[in-house]
A and B are shown apart, each in its own frame.
Chain A
């Protein structure tokens, strides 16, 4: 068994809503091996954000985790006390959020915030400040010395995201979670930020869990891809396998819908007909059966098991049984 930095087993998350119990995540298994970049892809509402917030233990008050474990560096995050969790957060386990314009505190200067997150370190303020400057240098911010005095609203979105990345990597985490870090940025910036993430990942030797609904970004950055649909993982494998040999009907359709893959002129962009099933009222069987054009009788009755489609490429579908 390879060295896994994050090991999620049988994780389920429910939200208590007015319409009843919403099963946002169901029996998720996920591994991230040390030093790799794993991408999680899926449409909005498939449980990507719930997955991340349950890893960093910031689920809303109406959520509960009936079963499962999230093992990070050999300890179950779900069983840690809040104090122990706080010690891991920002040091070993870090995160870059989606919307850079709102992730930094608007009334404190960049420098203040960068020095504050080093509060565990008992060294002098001067060293902490120098460390922050070095970090800003690393993420490619010009003239970091004077940027420290700036407030977030004085920086552009791209710069703010660079600052967020600098803050997230400051303590040298072993796992960085990136929650759609480029979605709010324009295309040229997106490329820059991705390049930066990849460079820093190699330089600092951390693993990255990269969440996105953007297939191109995932293909560009990740070694391993996990495809999620309506709170379940339906397919996982190496990036090459997933993009060249998609096996699950959902993955196939998802790739067809990627505007970048369309070469012929079309009047309508392709889409997957149907809607995501109601997660408060699941009927059992395969989760994708209602939108799948190849569904068979078994899909209604039986939940598909994991099948190895090719080397290290797993699919949860009845059609792919060996």
Chain B
């Protein structure tokens, strides 16, 4: 948090000057600087900021004078929806794909999914975003191009979600399928799977109930830690699709040197990361009794 604070202040450009534009008088700049507390030493600014966080106060937006918490939490649901639909879709496709590859190891189908997965992983989200925008929104007109849809209209919001979620999720499909394939192969070679086969359990039970419950553990951890990557992918995607959200908020507030908003949104994203890793640990514990016992 402190590191982030200094990094933002290291960026050249006086926020007061940038906000007021080229025709600002020195008096106006001094006035704004005083209101933002920029005239005080950095250490004092930092202390004030940290103290306010403890009180649940992230400061006030310099431009609109609205509290930062209100602005950030207003934008947060859009980003959360985007991230969740992306990762949920990726799990829905990637995990079965990985299982399939593992069960058909070294067959033609496995190689094809392998190549496709790696291609998916290497595709940067903003490139996918731009191309899917071009193909599905502009040329084919299947999905709307920009915005997040009418408030309250679920269907409209959902259709607006498809392309951005696809742009973020596609690399995760590849990533998860590779990961699940590797851990699945490992688990399928373990002794208890041989036992399950010897007791005549069906292949479906063995793979999806006996093996997947173990093979999924690393995937859960990766998704939890992957929250950081998801947020950074969301930043770019929200800009491309002109969607409201945390990412777009961060970009806009950085360009206007709106320090309180930058700090507030980065703080909340960090919080998201902490929450998601905690959740993934809890999920793992609920899946594996050996982890549960060590908690």
Instruction: Pick the contact of B199: A90, A108, A151 (CB < 8 A).
Output: A90
Could you tell me if A90 and B192 are in contact, using CB atoms closer than 8 angstroms? no
Could you tell me if A90 and B198 are in contact, using CB atoms closer than 8 angstroms? yes
- Interface residue ranges of B196-223 to A (CB < 8 Å): 196-202, 205, 209-210, 213-214
Chain B contact surface mostly: helix
- In the assembled complex, the Cα of A288 lies from the Cα of B196 at a distance in Å of 37
Cβ of A11 within 8 Å of any chain B Cβ, yes or no, is no
Cβ of A185 within 8 Å of any chain B Cβ, yes or no, is no
Cβ of B191 within 8 Å of any chain A Cβ, yes or no, is yes
Q: How many residues of A contact B (CB 8 A)?
A: 30
Cβ of B153 within 8 Å of any chain A Cβ, yes or no, is no
Cβ of A305 within 8 Å of any chain B Cβ, yes or no, is no
**Distance in Å: Cβ of A80 to nearest Cβ of chain B:** 12
Per-position contact with B for A95-107: 1 when CB-CB < 8 Å, else 0? Answer: 1010100111111
In the complex, what residue of chain A is closest to B202 when comparing beta carbons?
A: A86
Select the residue from A88, A109, A116, A164 with max chain B CB neighbours within 10 A. A116
Instruction: Tell me which residues across on chain A come within 8 A of B198, comparing CB atoms.
Output: 56, 58, 89-90, 94-95, 97
**Distance in Å: Cβ of A98 to nearest Cβ of chain B:** 8
In the complex, what residue of chain B is closest to A100 when comparing beta carbons?
A: B191
Known A58-B194, A102-B190, A107-B214; judge A88-B200 contact (CB<8 A).
yes
Could you tell me if A119 and B201 are in contact, using CB atoms closer than 8 angstroms? yes
Known A86-B202, A97-B191; judge A105-B196 contact (CB<8 A).
yes
**Distance in Å: Cβ of B223 to nearest Cβ of chain A:** 18
Could you tell me if A119 and B205 are in contact, using CB atoms closer than 8 angstroms? yes
- In the assembled complex, the Cα of A172 lies from the Cα of B156 at a distance in Å of 60
Could you tell me if B289 and A89 are in contact, using CB atoms closer than 8 angstroms? no
Cβ of A91 within 8 Å of any chain B Cβ, yes or no, is yes
Instruction: Tell me which residues across on chain A come within 8 A of B201, comparing CB atoms.
Output: 90, 116-117, 119
**Distance in Å: Cβ of A269 to nearest Cβ of chain B:** 31
Could you tell me if B213 and A108 are in contact, using CB atoms closer than 8 angstroms? yes
- In the assembled complex, the Cα of A167 lies from the Cα of B197 at a distance in Å of 13
Cβ of A183 within 8 Å of any chain B Cβ, yes or no, is no
Instruction: Tell me which residues across on chain A come within 8 A of B194, comparing CB atoms.
Output: 58, 97, 103
Cβ of B287 within 8 Å of any chain A Cβ, yes or no, is yes
**Distance in Å: Cβ of A61 to nearest Cβ of chain B:** 9
Cβ of B25 within 8 Å of any chain A Cβ, yes or no, is no
Instruction: Tell me which residues across on chain A come within 8 A of B139, comparing CB atoms.
Output: none
Cβ of A130 within 8 Å of any chain B Cβ, yes or no, is no
Instruction: Pick the contact of B195: A86, A104, A107 (CB < 8 A).
Output: A104
**Distance in Å: Cβ of A153 to nearest Cβ of chain B:** 5
Could you tell me if B288 and A106 are in contact, using CB atoms closer than 8 angstroms? yes
Cβ of B55 within 8 Å of any chain A Cβ, yes or no, is no
Could you tell me if A87 and B200 are in contact, using CB atoms closer than 8 angstroms? yes
Instruction: Tell me which residues across on chain A come within 8 A of B23, comparing CB atoms.
Output: none
- Interface residue ranges of A250-280 to B (CB < 8 Å): none
In the complex, what residue of chain A is closest to B217 when comparing beta carbons?
A: A107
- In the assembled complex, the Cα of A124 lies from the Cα of B209 at a distance in Å of 20
* 24 contacting pairs across A/B (C-beta < 8 A): A58-B197, A87-B200, A89-B197, A90-B199, A91-B200, A94-B199, A102-B191, A105-B195, A105-B214, A106-B214, A106-B288, A106-B290, A107-B290, A108-B209, A108-B210, A116-B205, A116-B209, A117-B200, A117-B201, A151-B289, A151-B290, A153-B290, A153-B293, A168-B199
Question: Residues of A with Cβ closer than 8 Å to B?
Answer: 56, 58, 86-91, 94-95, 97, 99, 102-109, 116-117, 119-120, 151, 153-154, 164, 167-168
- Inter-chain pairs besides A94-B199, A106-B192, A107-B289, 5 sampled, C-beta below 8 Å: A90-B201, A106-B214, A107-B213, A107-B214, A153-B293
Top 6 nearest A-B pairs (CB, nearest first) are A90-B199, A89-B200, A90-B200, A102-B191, A151-B289, A117-B199
